[in-house]
Amino acid sequence: MAIEACRYFAHQAWVQGAWAKDVLLEVDASGHWSRVTCDAAQDCARDAVHLAGPLLPGVVNAHSHAFQRAIAGLTEQRAPHGQDNFWSWRERMYAVAQRITPEQLEAIATMLYTELLAGGYTQVCEFHYLHNAGARAPQASALEMSMALVQAAQRSGIGLTLLPTLYMRSGFGADRLRPDQQRFASTPDSIARLVQDVQAATRGMAHVNLGVALHSLRAVTPQALSELAAFADAQGLPIHIHIAEQPQEVQDCIAHTGQRPIEWLLLHTQLHARWNLVHATHATQAELDGVRASGASIVICPSTEANLGDGVFDYGGYCAQGGSWSVGSDSHISRAWNEELRLLEYGQRLTRGQRNVAAQSGASTSSAANMLQALLRSAQTSTARPLGGLQEGQRADCVVLDTTSPALCGLPHAHVLDAHVFSSPGSAPLAVCVGGQWRSHSSQGSVLQDYARTLAHVFS
């Protein structure tokens, strides 16, 4: 969709890994940056729109389960029986997954995507496995469930990389799904058809593209993994997979294959720069070295991993060798990227007994700067879209910060990003732009009302 070419002027903008001053940014008719000029003369910017605060690039949320937004805050009381852990949380999540209709999924996702925009995300990778009919949605089809997410993205204005997800069995050694997992059932052929159907249905829609996901090694067969990966490679699609999130998953993989999950993946697949390994919390240094060498990226989800008791990813060891990584909000306990980065860094500080761990691995002495640059470098890996920041040829996504907020007020310019990440509570952006178009939050009230009504029906 063509847009009107525009020019913007920011007194402070994040360009090529550092704050630049007096930056003139020009957007072409396709919604991409056509020129970014630092230290621009004031007279050159006379006809440009002057932005009201520092300018940051938009950030990719590389891992989302939109329907799980509906249970944020509802799983914080101990399980009635046994140990409360990831697996007990999963039972509660399944119960809600069975109930959601396409209309309800759209309302929940619209609320979530509106929040993600307000949190500075401009693209979301939706790891989507609610394909089939559910208890409250007996007629729901895979295409309807997928298009509910597409419509939510279009309504909110966020970019969407939809990842129809292969889910075939209940665990290593099983040959089928459990009864409460039948809604997720799929095959390589059904996922390939769904990708093609959604591509046809979204042709001409702005900022929507497709990839594929493999739920996990425990949920797919080796042959099916190879078949779907081959389909994705032929189409040039990004590939995402949950892996090594829980110690039990690692133990089960060793028991059934003789290898750890990432070890198995490295030996039996050709990982490359369109692969995204979600979590990888329980990985050895040798496995992380193999991922780094392959060009694949790891998707870290700090708020969800903390909420579920998953453990702490070896960020320092992985990044010291230049490993690629992105961030996701997963179950949406948090919906802002600066909160995810804060928790990521604090987890490292708590386990290592050091400060500014991220500052040890990167060009900057700032932890926040190194983490933000890592997100921008990995954006194309997770989305197959040019989302690498404020530079020519990249999509014109950006966020205007509010320096009148308590978190940022009165700070020296050089520390605005540091405070945006580490001063809590963070500041909400003044404005968010996706593909050269500013997204209005004027409809957020009606979105919230629709969301509240939807939850009342889901939990009735």
d(CA 447, CA 153): 13
d(CA 65, CA 145): 13
Q: Which residues are catalytic?
A: 279, 330
**Nearest Cα residue to 8 out of 33, 18, 20, 281:** 33
**Residues 31 and 437: beta-carbon distance below 8 Å:** yes
Which parts of 35-179 fold into alpha helices (H)? 86-97, 102-118, 142-156
Q: What is the DSSP letter of 217?
A: G
Coil/strand/helix, residue 354 = coil
CA distances (Å), 361 to each of 207, 254, 416, in order?
32, 32, 20
d(CA 332, CA 277): 18
d(CA 259, CA 427): 45
Buried b (16+ CB within 10 A) or exposed e, 280-291: bbbbeeebbbbb
Coil/strand/helix, residue 306 = helix
d(CA 414, CA 329): 27
How many Cα neighbours within 13 Å face the side chain of 224?
Answer: 23
Residue 55, phi then psi, degrees to nearest 5: -110, 125
**Residues 57 and 376: beta-carbon distance below 8 Å:** yes
Beta-strand relationship, 437-439 and 431-434: antiparallel
The residue written with tokens 């889910």 in the block is 167
Token couple for 202: 């979204």
Token couple for 36: 């970014």
Angle subtended by helix axes 444-458 and 102-118, to nearest 10: 140
**Residues 264 and 412: beta-carbon distance below 8 Å:** no
DSSP conformation letters of 133-146? -BTTBTT--HHHHH
